[in-house]
Structure formats: structure tokens, C-alpha cells
């Protein structure tokens, strides 16, 4: 039976059909749907882990225990996961182990656009790269077999367009794969130096076997159209090339992007007058070709930046312009990124800006606190960095600077990697104020549960991490819980805690407005008391606009959260129930 599937759903289906037993991940666009699809299969244990490193370690443990296991992440999550990944390359596997990483060329939802292929080379782990949903499924199944045959973890690299595009997939039944026996093997699984140095030899022998495999594997195929132009490509860049070049070029389609097939590439280049390497992001394949002394064209014709388009490839290879796509007759209004109406973070950032504080920010919906008109966030580096970076700022600039400095971090991100920064503050005698923006969910990636919500990935009730008790346990004595929509109280609390000569935590607690459990009613209206001071405009609420130089509230967008009622100094905004 064939079915139209998203690339991410096809990876999940491939894992299911391959008989995978355990999947552990942390959500991150564009990879999130893989695990959300996995959880639909009752045969598979699935979890959202607190971060990618933990997720990888869970999967590695399952693999050593004899089960087929998988972990999925976005490209920046691979940075977090890198520590165990480099060592599992040495230990190898017992049950098959697959690591799916989704890159984000163009940074649709990321803080950088790093190229994960470098991790494959650096960790000496083979990497497969599918080009469509069908290959997503088949490559995933193959990855588990390859993992067990070669005693290695296997990367599957996706990109936004492959993860989020749909194509037809042939479905098969789930394989019955018995969990392998577990056998104690200290030399293989205990990576103390005396064992690791021996395992490094095994890793080098394995990579040579994988190079031989890459030469003969059907993953790397030549498509001969009797052309003098050759294209070497992989993934979505191959699909774009095929779309616009058709039979005007021959193709060496690479399904295995590490290690690369040296002889196959040399032979392909020898048989063509001009060879283009078409690949998004870094010149990974191009540099390899040039290291072999081959003449190829790539980044001198195409950009290092962002996503490619078919028209870019056509112009670079054939020098031809692609006909322009039809444009809408009317200009499409620009919609800048903005927090949702009713977002609980809006009240917190309103206060922080009013107080003129330096805000060390983090990754999540609340990164939008850097946009107009709130413009509160000063820095955003990576998950968890808000806490530790503020500690560094305070140590560098001193006590008075610290009184005007706070960290902001979401509840899920705090569990991911913020907690270690808080421990560092306590241990190294910092006195920072950390604001945990607790909206009771992992918001930006689409409402995934986390250890603070009290529910598992399957919606089952579980133990809920108590943020107050947790902060106390690491040594924070001053913990305040405050509603960010009570702006007067919130401002008072922030002032008091930033003046304190000890570290403190403020838990800014109000659930995400988009949660089904949040039942705002009615909407807000402006009455005749309005002095047109535009104080309410400082909230950046998408429902509040100016029309004919008068502030108005768009009833279709207002969800009745009432934050604007709390900031109006003239009592000119009242909430009306439906």
C-alpha cells in the first residue's frame, strides 16, 4: 500500500518497519514530527528527554541492551548530543542505533545554519542523506541494518525541505526483530583510556570497510543521460537539480554522504567535461573532490548561504534564467514575528523594558522579546546560555551592573540546560536573578510536554518536577512565584530581587494562551476615558492597533487575556464578557 507521507513521518515509519524498540528525542524544528509520529506506534517506547544529550544516552543504553534504538534532533541539538556521540562511535552498538539530524538551511527556525555533515566526518560515523519521503523510509530501515552489520551508529541527515515535504511511500509490515542478548564486554563498552585506544583501531578499520561499501552501494548511483555535464549532489539539492536540468546533465546521486566513494567520484569526473557539485550550506563534497585533485565547480557558482532554489541551479549550470513564477496581483502584507495575543511572556518583557534592565535571553517563544516594541532581550546564544552568560556578565562588570541584569529562560529550556547554569551561579558565588518563564509547556516547537508539565509524550500522568523544590535543592534560598500579568506586583518583585545581594529565582507563572486548558473569555474594549497616551501599544499585542490616530482593539484578535487592562493608567480599557 502506498501513502502520501511527510519526510519526517516516513522516517518514523521506517523505524517502525525496522522493528525499532526505543526512541528518545528533544523537540526542535525541523525534526520534531519524527518523534511525534513515532509515538503513534504502540510497539515503540518513546520519550521526550530533557535535552538531546540525555536523549542520545537513552538510545545508546537501549542499543547496548540489545534493542534497536533511535534519537532525533535538529542540527543545533547535535551540538548538545555531541559528547556521547563521539564516544559511541568507539563503543559501537549491539542493537542498531540511528541518529536523525535535521539541518535548517535558511534558518527558518534556528539561530544558525550549521552543516551536520562535518559531525559525521569528525566522529567517524557514516551518514545517509535521503532526497524524498520514500528514501526517508527506506534509508532509515537500511540504517538499522548497516548499524548492526558494521557495529556502528548511523546518522541520517535531513533538511527542512525533505523533512517537511510530502511524497508517496510504499508501506510494509513491521519486522520482528528480537532484542539481542546483552553480554558484559568491558573492553568494548567501558571507554577508559586503555580500552578506548584499542577501540580507535576498530573505528579506523570500520571506516575503511564503509569506504568500500560506499563504492559498491546502490545508495550512490550514476544516472547516465549521455551528457557532457556532470552533477554530483545529494538530498533536496539533487531533487532541485533534476527538476530544472532534467536530461541535460548526468548525475552522481549520493545517498551516503560520509564516507564518500572516492573511485566512483573520480570515474564520474573523468567521463564529463564539466562537473558541478550542487550542495546546500558548506562545500563538503566539493572540498573532498578537490582534495582528490579533481576540477569541479560549486561554491564559485552558488552561494554558501541559505536554501537553494531550482532557478539558482539552472542559472549556475546552464546560464539560463528560470521563468518567473506567477506573482499575486496585490502586495501581500508583511507580518513581522510577534508573540501571540494573550502570550504570558508579554507582561514580563513589558516590565523588564520599563525597568531598563539588561536581559540575557534564551531560545524559545520568548526570544521574540527582542522585537519591537518590547525590545527587551539583549543576547540569545543557545539553549540554556541565558543563565550562564548572565553570570559571566556579572563577574565581568561587577555588582552595580548585576543590579540591572536578569536572565530569562522558559520552563522547558531550564530543564534542558538552564539548571546547570544556575548550579554554577550558586557554586561560584554569583548573585544573579534568573526569571523562569513558566508557561506550562514547550511552546515554540508546538506544545510538547516536558518534565515540568506532569505528562509524558503519550499524555500519561507522571511525576512533575517541582521548580521551586529544584531551585532550592541547588542552593537558591530566594524564590518568588509571580503572575506576569499582574504587572505592578511583577515589577515590585523584579526590583526587590535584582537589589538582593544573593542569587534569586523568579518563576513567572502563567500558562501559554494557546493551551486548551486556558479559557480566556470575552474581549477588551477601549472606552471614553482613553487619553490616547498609547501606553497599551507598548505591549506589542497584535490585537491593539492605531486607526485614524486613535488606539483601537481588534475584536477578532483579542482573546480577552486582560493584560492591557492592567497597564492602562486611566482605566480606559475594560474587559467585556461575551
Residue 158: strand pairing partners: 102
Question: 363-387: string of b/e by CB count within 10 Å (b at 16+)?
Answer: bbbbbbbbbeebebbbbbebbbbbb
100-150 pLDDT, tens digit per residue, is 999 999 998 889 999 999 999 999 999 999 999 999 999 999 999 999 999
Residue 333 has pLDDT above 80, yes or no: no
The enclosing H or E element of 183 equals none
pLDDT > 70? residue 578: no
Could you check whether the bond before residue 530 is cis, i.e. omega within 30 degrees of 0?
Answer: no
* Crossing angle (nearest 10°) for helices 235-245 and 310-318: 60
Judge whether 82 and 155 are in contact, CB under 8 Å: no
C-alpha cell at 447: 506544545
Query: What pLDDT score does 472 carry?
Result: 98
Digit-coded pLDDT (tens) for 308-325:
999 999 999 999 987 767
Backbone φ, ψ for residue 155 (5° rounding): -85, 140
Q: In which element (H, E) is residue 284 found?
A: helix 284-291
Q: What whole-number percentage of the chain has pLDDT above 70?
A: 100
Beta strands 433-438 and 274-278 are unpaired
Quote the CA–CA distance of 111 and 109 in Å, as a whole number.
7
Task: Choose among 239, 107, 222: nearest CA to 162.
Answer: 239
CA distance 472 to 474: 6
328 pLDDT tier (thresholds 50, 70, 90): confident
Banded pLDDT at 577 (limits 50, 70, 90): confident
Distance from C-alpha of 315 to C-alpha of 322, rounded to nearest angstrom: 7
Q: Is the pLDDT of residue 446 over 70?
A: yes
pLDDT band at 428 (very low <50, low <70, confident <90, very high): very high
pTM over 0.75: yes
Give the mean model confidence (pLDDT) for residues 369-385: 93
The one-character DSSP state at 570 is T
**Contact yes or no for 56/214 (Cβ under 8 A):** no
pLDDT recorded at residue 444 = 86
C-alpha distances (whole Å) from 272 to each of 224, 249, 253, 279, 295 are 11, 10, 15, 19, 11
For range 470-495, the mean pLDDT: 97
Residue 330 has pLDDT above 90, yes or no: no
CA distance 125 to 113: 21
Is residue 109 within 8 A of residue 116, CB to CB? The reply is no
The order of strands in the sheet holding 274-278 is: 220-223, 250-254, 229-233, 274-278
**CB-CB contact of 181 with 65 (8 Å):** no
CB 241 within 8 A of CB 249: yes
The count of residues in the chain is 578
Residues 41-73: pLDDT tens digits?
A: 999 999 999 999 999 999 999 999 999 999 999
In the predicted model, is pLDDT for residue 212 greater than 80?
yes
Q: What is the DSSP string of 482-519?
A: E-TTSHHHHHHHHHHHHH-SS-EEEEEE---TTSTT--
Per the listing, cell 559528547 goes with 83
pLDDT digits (tens, 9 = 90+) for 1-45: 999 999 999 999 999 999 999 999 999 999 999 999 999 999 999
> Which pLDDT band, with edges at 50, 70 and 90, does 367 fall under?
very high
pLDDT in tens, 246-280: 999 999 999 999 999 999 999 999 999 999 999 99
Amino acid at each position: 500500500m502506498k501513502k502520501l507521507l511527510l519526510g519526517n513521518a516516513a522516517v518514523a515509519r521506517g523505524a517502525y518497519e525496522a522493528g525499532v524498540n526505543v526512541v528518545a528525542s528533544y523537540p526542535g524544528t525541523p525534526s520534531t514530527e519524527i518523534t511525534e509520529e513515532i509515538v503513534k506506534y504502540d510497539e515503540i517506547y518513546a520519550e521526550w528527554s530533557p535535552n538531546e544529550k540525555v536523549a542520545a544516552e537513552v538510545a545508546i543504553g537501549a542499543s547496548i541492551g540489545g534493542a534497536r534504538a533511535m534519537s532525533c534532533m535538529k542540527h543545533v541539538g547535535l551540538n548538545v548530543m555531541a559528547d556521547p556521540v563521539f564516544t559511541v562511535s568507539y563503543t559501537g552498538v549491539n542493537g542498531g542505533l540511528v541518529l536523525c539530524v535535521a539541518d535548517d538551511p535558511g534558518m527558518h527556525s534556528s539561530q544558525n545554519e550549521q552543516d551536520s555533515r562535518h559531525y559525521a566526518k569528525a566522529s567517524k560515523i557514516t551518514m545517509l542523506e535521503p532526497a524524498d519521503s520514500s528514501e526517508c523510509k527506506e534509508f532509515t530501515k537500511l540504517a538499522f541494518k548497516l548499524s548492526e552489520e558494521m557495529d556502528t551508529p548511523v546518522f541520517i541527515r535531513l533538511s527542512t525541505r525533505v523533512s517537511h515535504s510530502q511524497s508517496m511511500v510504499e508501506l510494509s509490515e513491521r519486522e520482528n526483530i528480537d532484542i539481542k542478548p546483552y553480554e558484559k564486554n568491558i573492553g568494548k563498552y567501558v571507554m577508559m583510556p586503555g580500552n578506548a585506544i584499542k577501540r580507535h583501531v576498530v573505528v579506523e578499520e570500520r571506516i575503511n570497510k564503509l569506504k568500500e561499501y560506499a563504492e559498491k552501494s546502490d545508495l550512490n548511483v550514476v544516472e547516465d543521460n549521455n551528457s557532457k555535464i556532470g552533477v554530483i549532489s545529494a538530498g533536496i539539492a539533487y531533487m532541485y537539480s533534476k527538476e530544472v536540468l532534467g536530461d541535460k546533465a548526468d548525475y552522481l546521486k549520493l545517498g551516503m554522504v560520509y564516507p564518500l566513494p572516492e573511485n566512483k567520484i573520480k570515474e564520474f569526473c573523468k567521463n564529463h567535461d564539466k562537473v558541478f557539485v550542487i550542495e546546500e550550506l558548506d562545500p563538503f563534497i566539493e572540498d573532498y573532490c578537490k582534495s582528490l585533485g579533481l576540477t569541479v565547480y560549486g561554491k564559485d557558482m552558488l552561494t554558501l548561504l541559505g536554501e537553494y532554489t531550482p532557478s539558482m541551479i539552472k542559472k549556475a549550470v546552464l546560464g539560463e534564467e528560470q521563468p518567473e513564477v506567477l506573482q499575486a496581483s496585490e502586495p501581500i502584507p508583511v507580518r513581522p514575528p510577534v508573540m501571540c495575543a494573550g502570550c504570558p511572556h508579554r507582561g514580563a518583557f513589558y516590565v523588564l523594558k520599563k525597568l531598563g534592565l539588561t536581559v540575557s535571553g534564551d531560545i524559545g517563544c520568548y526570544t521574540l522579546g527582542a522585537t519591537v516594541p518590547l525590545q527587551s532581550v539583549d543576547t540569545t546564544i543557545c539553549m540554556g546560555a541565558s543563565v550562564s552568560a548572565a553570570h559571566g556578565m556579572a563577574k565581568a562588570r561587577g555588582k552595580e551592573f548585576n543590579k540591572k541584569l536578569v536572565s530569562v529562560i522558559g520552563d522547558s529550556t531550564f530543564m534542558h540546560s538552564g539548571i546547570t547554569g544556575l548550579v554554577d551561579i550558586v557554586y561560584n558565588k554569583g548573585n544573579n536573578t534568573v526569571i523562569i518563564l513558566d508557561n506550562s509547556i514547550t511552546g515554540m516547537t508546538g506544545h510538547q510536554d516536558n518534565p515540568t508539565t506532569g505528562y509524558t509524550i503519550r499524555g500519561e500522568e507522571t511525576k512533575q518536577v517541582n521548580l521551586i523544590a529544584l531551585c532550592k535543592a541547588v542552593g537558591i534560598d530566594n524564590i518568588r512565584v509571580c503572575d506576569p500579568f499582574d504587572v505592578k506586583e511583577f515589577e515590585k518583585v523584579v526590583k526587590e530581587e535584582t537589589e538582593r545581594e544573593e542569587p534569586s529565582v523568579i518563576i513567572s507563572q502563567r500558562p501559554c494562551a494557546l493551551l486548551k486548558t486556558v479559557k480566556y473569555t470575552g474581549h477588551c474594549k477601549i472606552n471614553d476615558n482613553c487619553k490616547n497616551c498609547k501606553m497599551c501599544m507598548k505591549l506589542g499585542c497584535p490585537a491593539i492597533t492605531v486607526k485614524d490616530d486613535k488606539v483601537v482593539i481588534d475584536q477578532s484578535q483579542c482573546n480577552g487575556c486582560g493584560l492591557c487592562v492592567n497597564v492602562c493608567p486611566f482605566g480606559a480599557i475594560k474587559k467585556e464578557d461575551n
